[in-house]
């Protein structure tokens, strides 16, 4: 889980620390500027005003000369050559002489011009103690608080992260819930996380039991449902082979055989759909025409005595690599649907290089019925005794399972065309 909750929390705290650092450093820079210019400039201006007050009281008052400030006075009418060379060209106002390590305030009055010099290094020292040091202490406090918060948050989310990692490794079809059994949980998994782990353990256990039941049903149904159908088919074959069987009995036996074949197709479809997605039916190369011909022959036999003509159309063999039994179930459902809803006219089955089409001249479907055609147990005409409404639903599910496309078009009273595109 490269983008899990712990990583997001870590990134959040890192961003918080970076933004706080940026803000504090910017504040320190502003404090440094304020100290060097505003604070020092204000001190020099006040010192100049105080000096002129003293000068007015006594013209012999010398310029300030202290540990931090050095003053120079050029009285009115006197030459500025007495000044240090770097101060002579300065105009009245505040100046920063980086090369000379000086901050200079030039104050001009009618009595003359006063130059007050403050060492720039001392201003930077003030900026360090009143700006940089507080910044460093604040940064340490921010980093310490962020680290403590991160450690606390990590301890809080680590059980959730552990639980998420365990669940992410589960196989959806065979979830292994043993890791979440109460006796296997780490000691730090407590409170709501422990309740969640217990709920997931219970859910995974039920899912595993359900998967096992479905697997057993699939195996048992494949055997138990086919056994009686085999007996029915063999018994009906033997009865039909008896020359003494009357014509009426033969028709009944033929109906039994057709019903048995239909039941086998439905059972095959259900068993295929019940299998797990990663367990594919047998794949092989086969001739689609021969497979469809078998279903068309069954339909012709089914439509005996009814004014419906069933015909197969093709231009030669069409090879397909896939599960032949699946395609047989699909085609069988489409052809049987056409037979159930066609009272007279034609049923044409076309085998083309990339698809199989079944077109009939039956009752057709309205737009509303066509929109619901793939719903399980939906029938366009419930009054008709044939069918259960599962045919097209089974067809769609099988086609979706194997990457085929099913399309149905219909007009009320004109007929229906269903096609399966497998390439």
Measured at the alpha carbon of residue 137, what is the angle toward residues 136 and 139, in degrees to the nearest 5?
65
Q: How far is CA 303 from CA 112, 236, 341, 348, 410, in A?
A: 128, 20, 12, 13, 22
DSSP per position, 343-364: SSEEEEEEEETTEEEEEE-S--
Q: What is the pLDDT of residue 36?
A: 60
CB atoms within 10 A of CB 341: 22
pLDDT greater than 60 at residue 364: yes
Domain ranges of the chain: 5-78+86-143, 280-421
CATH of 280-421, one of 3.40.50.12590, 3.40.50.1000, 3.40.50.11540, 3.30.565.10: 3.30.565.10
Q: For 63-116, write each residue's pLDDT tens digit.
A: 888 877 888 988 888 888 888 888 888 899 888 887 877 888 899 898 888 999
Q: What is the pLDDT of residue 2?
A: 46
Helix (H, G, I), strand (E, B) or coil at 258: helix
4-13, 156-165, 273-282, 307-316: which is most confident: 307-316
Q: For 118-173, write each residue's pLDDT tens digit.
A: 877 766 666 666 666 777 777 778 777 777 877 777 777 777 777 777 777 776 66
- Higher per-residue confidence, 4 vs 112: 112
Dihedral angle sign, alpha carbons of residues 7, 13, 19, 21: negative
Q: What is the pLDDT of residue 40?
A: 74
Q: What is the mean pLDDT of residues 194-219?
A: 76
Q: What is the pLDDT of residue 313?
A: 95
Q: What is the pLDDT of residue 258?
A: 73
* End-to-end C-alpha distance for the chain, whole angstroms: 38
Specify the range with the lowest mean pLDDT, choosing from 170-174, 199-203, 307-311. 170-174
93 phi/psi in degrees, rounded to 5 = 130, -170
As a whole number of angstroms, the distance between CA 310 and CA 246 comes to 27
Q: What is the pLDDT of residue 388?
A: 46
Dihedral angle sign, alpha carbons of residues 72, 77, 82, 85: positive
Q: What is the mean pLDDT of residues 327-338?
A: 88
């Amino acid at each position: 889980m490269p983008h899990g909750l712990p990583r997001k929390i870590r990134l959040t705290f890192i961003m918080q620390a970076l933004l706080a650092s940026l803000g504090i450093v910017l504040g320190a820079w502003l404090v440094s500027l304020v100290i060097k210019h505003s604070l020092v400039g204000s001190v020099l201006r006040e010192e100049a005003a105080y000096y002129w007050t003293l000068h007015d009281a006594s013209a012999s008052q010398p310029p300030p000369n202290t540990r931090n400030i050095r003053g120079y006075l050029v009285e009115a009418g006197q030459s500025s050559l007495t000044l240090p060379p770097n101060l002579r060209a300065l105009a009245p106002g505040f100046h920063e002489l980086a090369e000379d390590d000086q901050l200079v305030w030039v104050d001009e009055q009618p009595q003359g011009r006063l130059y007050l010099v403050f060492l720039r290094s001392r201003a930077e020292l003030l900026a360090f103690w009143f700006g940089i040091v507080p910044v460093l202490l604040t940064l340490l406090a921010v980093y310490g608080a962020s680290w403590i918060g991160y450690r606390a948050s990590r301890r809080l989310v680590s059980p959730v992260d552990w639980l998420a990692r365990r669940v992410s490794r589960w196989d959806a079809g065979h979830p292994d819930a043993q890791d979440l059994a109460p006796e296997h949980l780490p000691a730090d998994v407590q409170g709501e996380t422990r309740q969640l782990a217990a709920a997931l353990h219970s859910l995974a256990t039920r899912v595993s039991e359900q998967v096992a039941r479905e697997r057993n049903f699939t195996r048992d149904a494949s055997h138990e449902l086919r056994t009686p159908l085999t007996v029915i088919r063999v018994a009906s074959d033997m009865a039909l082979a008896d020359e003494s069987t009357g014509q009426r009995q033969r028709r009944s036996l033929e109906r039994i055989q057709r019903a048995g074949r239909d039941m086998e197709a439905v059972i095959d479809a259900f068993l295929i759909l019940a299998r797990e997605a990663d367990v594919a039916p047998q794949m092989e190369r086969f001739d689609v025409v021969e497979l469809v011909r078998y279903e068309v022959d069954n339909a012709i036999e089914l439509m005996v005595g009814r004014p419906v003509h069933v015909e197969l159309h093709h231009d030669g063999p069409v090879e397909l690599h896939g599960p032949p039994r699946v395609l047989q179930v699909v085609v069988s459902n489409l052809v049987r649907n056409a037979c159930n809803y066609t009272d007279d006219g034609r049923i044409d089955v076309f085998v083309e290089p990339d698809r199989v089409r079944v077109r009939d001249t039956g009752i057709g479907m309205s737009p509303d019925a066509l929109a619901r055609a793939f719903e399980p147990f939906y029938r366009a005409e419930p009054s008709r005794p044939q069918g259960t409404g599962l045919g097209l639903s089974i067809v769609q599910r099988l086609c979706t399972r194997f990457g085929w496309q099913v399309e149905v078009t219909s007009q009320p009273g004109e007929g229906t065309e269903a096609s399966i595109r497998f390439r």
